[in-house]
Structure 1
Amino acid sequence: MERNLTELTNQVYDVLVIGGGIYGATLAREASLCGLSVALVEKNDFGAATSANSLKTIHGGLRYLQNADFKRMRESIHERTTLMRIAPHLIHPLPVLIPTYGHGLKGKEALSVALAVNDLVSCDRNRLLDQQKHIPNGRVISQKKCLELLPGISTQGLTGGAIFHDAQVYNSERLTISFLHSAHQAGASLANYVEVTGLVQNDNRINGVTVTDKLTENQFDIRAKTVINTCGAWGNKILGMVNQQKRWPFGVAKAMNLVTTRPLFEKYAVGITSKNSSADSDAIVNKGSRFLFISPWRGRSMIGTEYAVYSQDPDDFQITEADISQFMAAINQAYPPAKLKREEISFVHGGMLPTTNINSKTGEPILAKHYQIFDHSQTGLLGLISVVGVKYTTARDVAEKVVNYLFKLLGKKSPKSVSSVKSIYGGEIENFTDFLQNAIVEKRSKGLTELSIRRLVYNYGSAYPKVLNYLENPESEWAIVKAEILHAIHQEMAYKLSDVIFRRTELGSAGYPGDETIKFCAEVMSKELSWSSTKLEEEVQQIRNKFGITSAIVASNIPSNFQD
């Protein structure tokens, strides 16, 4: 996967995608697999904005039962199965436990019925050959068993618990990168750090975009028959480049998930009732409260999601200390045994989601429920389509619908989509457990530790040997990290230290990896990309700023054992 800007100027593409998050990535792959020529540009790094803020849960749509929205349930269940099929190294079943209280909507009887309906609606969920990906039937448990699994929860009115399974992403940033790898393999031209600064317009048709390479400040045009705007919260900025063009009627919510230094629960993702309201005007039944999900993730807990209305420029987005404190207070109130302290929050994932309104009673944002595909020819502008996604799980499905619509515009029948059955980059694995064990046996004999092999397989899947092509000393853990960095630079368009720390590897997405790791990674990148000492220090400080660490690391203090 190479960043070839010259290639971007040498042809007229069928499709140009603006935005390299999960929706742009799945769309680029889908269109390329269907035989269209595709270009994709992203103004920062791939998947660096909202797509990086994920609760890491691939939802099967159980919560849609309160709306009797079986169509969305089926879509979500299908896409959950699809992602486990095409990305078996990254998507794995996740058991979820919800305590039951009383005998009403939160009671064991109501949840038992809900689980039975969910099992019926998802009756075909286990057609995957890999049994590691099978989703068991839901079940209810006794009060005693629930207290054994969730010590310290409120016992007032507790009647038991409900257990069901969803799925979880081990590394959502690598999932986005893997979709882009697959798009590139299918012929797409991709480039990060290329910002769209204008739309090329002739009369009432968009014929491409004007862009600036943020690494060199060079400007050029990219021509395309259709431009697709998948910029999320930045979507209206793109539309603002066209005079009198209709803007999206969406607001924006600030979304936040916290990662803790210690796991609150070891085995289950747990739904704890929060006292915050979750009034849903479309719901047939309304619980009057919402769940905080506390999920075990990479030896820690991921807790989310907290939402707040956001009305500022998306470029100015940030999570404040006040936001974190407020969310921690809600968590400690919902589950007092957590006793979370600020120093136990190892990382904060923040992003922006589309909203349709604000709850007049609580002031909370009402999230958009349905994706939107808008052809701007309806307002007199040809060649421009905007896509607003609302759910990480169904991004591939939306991409398929967009491509079907493109062929309809061309007056052609859409090719049969293969994106739901064709493995993404790294996903060529028939049986994940067997694949992992075989990798451990084979590579341990060559000096790698089991921990390193597991990490490589969970992140890169069947493509992990491509990382090891850059390995110089298999007995050194630092050498494996160096191999990941070199692979990221030469095969995955990593140009900044943050690209490596947060999105090409798992080093920083769960918490600060430590001064030694940051120094080592910076030194490897500096040597490979010929950074100046000033550039190196700037890159290091940007990482430390992300974690709220202000004191600088002096590059010359890097231990000698980190050098080649």
Structure 2
Amino acid sequence: MKTVDVVVVGGGINGVGVAQALAIAGFSVTLLEKNQIGKETSANSSKLIHGGLRYLESGHLQMVRSSLEQREQLLKLAPDLVHPVAFYIPVYRNHRRGAHKIRAGLSLYSMLSLKSAYRTFKSVPRVYWSQIKGLKLQGLQAVFQYWDAQTDDFALTLSVAQSSIKYGANCVELANIQDISLVASGYQINYQVRGKNEQVRAAAVVNAAGPWVNDCLALLRPAVKPQNISWVQGSHLLIDLPAPQGVIYLESHLDPRVVFVMPWQGKTLIGTTELELCHMPEKPQVTEREIEYLLAIYVHYFDTGLNKTELASKIIDTYCGVRVLPAGRGNAFSKHREVVIAQAEHQPRFITIYGGKLTAYRTTAQQVLSAVQQQLGARVAQADYESVTLQTPNTPR
């Protein structure tokens, strides 16, 4: 039976990020993914590497500041995968967030960006508003422009996985875990790969199963009490319309949320929704309600000569991912977004990740690394984590 320091469950961005950080730090690592690495939630995001301007409104200043720091790191460490992109915020007469509020938010966002080359923002002169192709000008009072970044989320996840393998991690796809048992030496994980029974023992386990995090916990013996969570689905539409020149940040006219209209593969990408689910499906699906919602917002702001039905006929693709938020009252927009690293008092070597953002995966990985080091002690690092660059992955989408 193979023995390693740490088994990581889950091959999304958090799982591969943890595997990379642990392997670079000198730990032996096996990662088990039930499907294909990076093909679930991590391949179905808004494809943005950003601080999250909208989260300032709900008071998540520390999270925004940390995410902006990670944006800068990824621009430096993964220049072929993460690219700066201009964001535009049109402000209309009837908006909940007026020009003064937007300017104040952007000023704070700039301040939290510290010494970034992309901390600047500006008010776009009226003469240039028409250059945002199709944007309705009636009632438009101001347009602001600032900077964040965009990535291919699947390629980034795959690149991090390949980096972890370079430093010694063993990444196993199509691994169906049967059970996880506490034993004298740590944990024994029984799993199947293509019907073949396999076993691995580890001194510690990291549960990075994303929206299936509590399903993973249910396999553990003796049991650990799960945290109460909500599943929030975010859906996107890829429309056969020419890509906008940057990302358009829109205030929904239907609720207090914001929606992005983005360039993607030469077309227009619209997202995202926040649909709370009653249960976690094996394969999440975009709903008709979400399609209607996103199309209604696009038609409200853009004049393409198409009505909503005609625009719907131009949908090339739809996709969705599900993120974990704490259960409780209030809508998804108002709930806190910070990652929770959970360790039961009687099983501190079983480490569970609740939540997480694509942008902040490195911060999450470092938090988990610290927790593992507290339990197992430090190892001899193979490289300086802060200097390890990411390359375009070998395997195409």
TM-score over 0.5 for the pair? yes
Contact 2:5 2:28 in 1 (8 A): yes
Which residue of structure 1 aligns with residue 259 of structure 2? 292
- The match for 2:372 among 401, 406, 417 is 406
Q: Secondary structure at the match of 1:420?
A: helix
Contact 2:211 2:280 in 1 (8 A): no
Task: Kindly indicate whether residue 338 of structure 2 is the aligned counterpart of residue 370 of structure 1.
Answer: yes
Which residue of structure 2 aligns with residue 182 of structure 1? 163
Q: Give, in angstroms, the shift of residue 395 of structure 1.
A: 0.6
1:484-528 deviation digits (Å, cap 9, x = unpaired): xxxx4xxxxxxxxxxxxxxx32xxxxxxxxxxxxxxxxxxxxxxx
Q: Give, in angstroms, the shift of residue 105 of structure 1.
A: 6.4
Q: Which structure's relative contact order is higher, taking Cα pairs within 8 Å and 6+ residues apart? A: 2
Q: Give, in angstroms, the shift of residue 115 of structure 1.
A: 2.5
Which residue of structure 1 aligns with residue 79 of structure 2? 88
Q: Secondary structure at the match of 1:73?
A: helix
Q: Secondary structure at the match of 1:39?
A: strand
Q: Secondary structure at the match of 2:282?
A: helix
**Greater percentage in strand:** 2
1:152-208 deviation digits (Å, cap 9, x = unpaired): 42522x222110010000x211111110110001011111111111112237x8513
2:97 & 2:333 partners in 1: Cα distance? Answer: 24
Matches within 5 A, 1:140-289: 140-153=123-136, 155-156=138-139, 158-169=140-151, 171-202=152-183, 206-213=186-193, 215=194, 217-242=195-220, 244-263=223-242, 266-277=244-255, 289=256
Contact 1:308 1:365 in 2 (8 A): no
Q: Give, in angstroms, the shift of residue 74 of structure 1.
A: 2.0
Task: Kindly indicate whether residue 323 of structure 2 is the aligned counterpart of residue 345 of structure 1.
Answer: no
TM-score by length of 2: 0.90
CA RMSD of aligned residues (A): 2.6
Distance change >3 Å, CA 116–CA 299, structure 1 → 2: same
1:99 & 1:382 partners in 2: Cα distance? Answer: 48
2:236 & 2:380 partners in 1: Cα distance? Answer: 39
1:381-420 deviation digits (Å, cap 9, x = unpaired): 3531101233110011110111012112235599698333
Which residue of structure 2 aligns with residue 138 of structure 1? 121
1:69-89 deviation digits (Å, cap 9, x = unpaired): 432222111100111111111
1:113 & 1:365 partners in 2: Cα distance? Answer: 20
Q: Could you tell me which amino acid in structure 2 is paired with residue 153 of structure 1?
A: K
1:192-246 deviation digits (Å, cap 9, x = unpaired): 111111112237x851311010x2x011211100011000111111111235421
Q: Secondary structure at the match of 1:324?
A: helix
Q: Give, in angstroms, the shift of residue 249 of structure 1.
A: 1.2
Contact 1:199 1:209 in 2 (8 A): yes
Q: Could you tell me which amino acid in structure 2 is paired with residue 209 of structure 1?
A: I
Task: Kindly indicate whether residue 33 of structure 2 is the aligned counterpart of residue 39 of structure 1.
Answer: no
Distance change >3 Å, CA 251–CA 68, structure 1 → 2: closer
Q: Give, in angstroms, the shift of residue 150 of structure 1.
A: 4.7
Q: Give, in angstroms, the shift of residue 59 of structure 1.
A: 1.0
Which residue of structure 1 aligns with residue 48 of structure 2? 57
Contact 1:43 1:195 in 2 (8 A): yes
1:201 & 1:413 partners in 2: Cα distance? Answer: 23
Q: Could you tell me which amino acid in structure 2 is paired with residue 195 of structure 1?
A: N
Which residue of structure 2 aligns with residue 318 of structure 1? 285
Task: Kindly indicate whether residue 271 of structure 2 is the aligned counterpart of residue 304 of structure 1.
Answer: yes
Q: Could you tell me which amino acid in structure 2 is paired with residue 16 of structure 1?
A: V
The aligned length equals 393
Q: Secondary structure at the match of 1:401?
A: helix
1:318-349 deviation digits (Å, cap 9, x = unpaired): 22445434432343245454645223111112
2:237 & 2:94 partners in 1: Cα distance? Answer: 32
Contact 1:404 1:414 in 2 (8 A): no
Which residue of structure 1 aligns with residue 355 of structure 2? 389
Q: Give, in angstroms, the shift of residue 103 of structure 1.
A: 10
1:323 & 1:106 partners in 2: Cα distance? Answer: 23
Q: Give, in angstroms, the shift of residue 267 of structure 1.
A: 0.8
Q: Give, in angstroms, the shift of residue 274 of structure 1.
A: 0.9
Contact 2:339 2:356 in 1 (8 A): yes
**Greater percentage in helix:** 1
Q: Secondary structure at the match of 2:57?
A: helix
Contact 2:187 2:202 in 1 (8 A): yes
Q: Secondary structure at the match of 1:197?
A: strand
2:231 & 2:128 partners in 1: Cα distance? Answer: 41
Contact 2:348 2:375 in 1 (8 A): no
Contact 1:262 1:301 in 2 (8 A): yes
Distance change >3 Å, CA 78–CA 136, structure 1 → 2: closer
Task: Kindly indicate whether residue 108 of structure 2 is the aligned counterpart of residue 117 of structure 1.
Answer: yes
Q: Could you tell me which amino acid in structure 2 is paired with residue 275 of structure 1?
A: H
1:279-314 deviation digits (Å, cap 9, x = unpaired): xxxxxxxxxx22210011221111110121112343
Contact 1:253 1:367 in 2 (8 A): no
1:71 & 1:136 partners in 2: Cα distance? Answer: 17
Contact 1:15 1:227 in 2 (8 A): yes
Contact 2:356 2:364 in 1 (8 A): no
Provide the identity percentage.
Answer: 24
Q: Give, in angstroms, the shift of residue 136 of structure 1.
A: 5.8
1:272 & 1:98 partners in 2: Cα distance? Answer: 6
2:7 & 2:342 partners in 1: Cα distance? Answer: 16
1:27 & 1:414 partners in 2: Cα distance? Answer: 17
1:327 & 1:104 partners in 2: Cα distance? Answer: 18
Contact 1:19 1:40 in 2 (8 A): yes
Contact 2:85 2:247 in 1 (8 A): yes
TM-score by length of 1: 0.65
Task: Kindly indicate whether residue 384 of structure 2 is the aligned counterpart of residue 418 of structure 1.
Answer: yes
Q: Give, in angstroms, the shift of residue 365 of structure 1.
A: 6.9
Distance change >3 Å, CA 197–CA 408, structure 1 → 2: same
Could you list the runs of 5+ residues in structure 2 that have no partner in the other structure?
Answer: none
Distance change >3 Å, CA 58–CA 147, structure 1 → 2: same
Could you list the runs of 5+ residues in structure 1 that have no partner in the other structure?
Answer: 1-8, 127-134, 278-288, 427-458, 461-466, 468-487, 489-503, 506-564
Q: Could you tell me which amino acid in structure 2 is paired with residue 356 of structure 1?
A: P
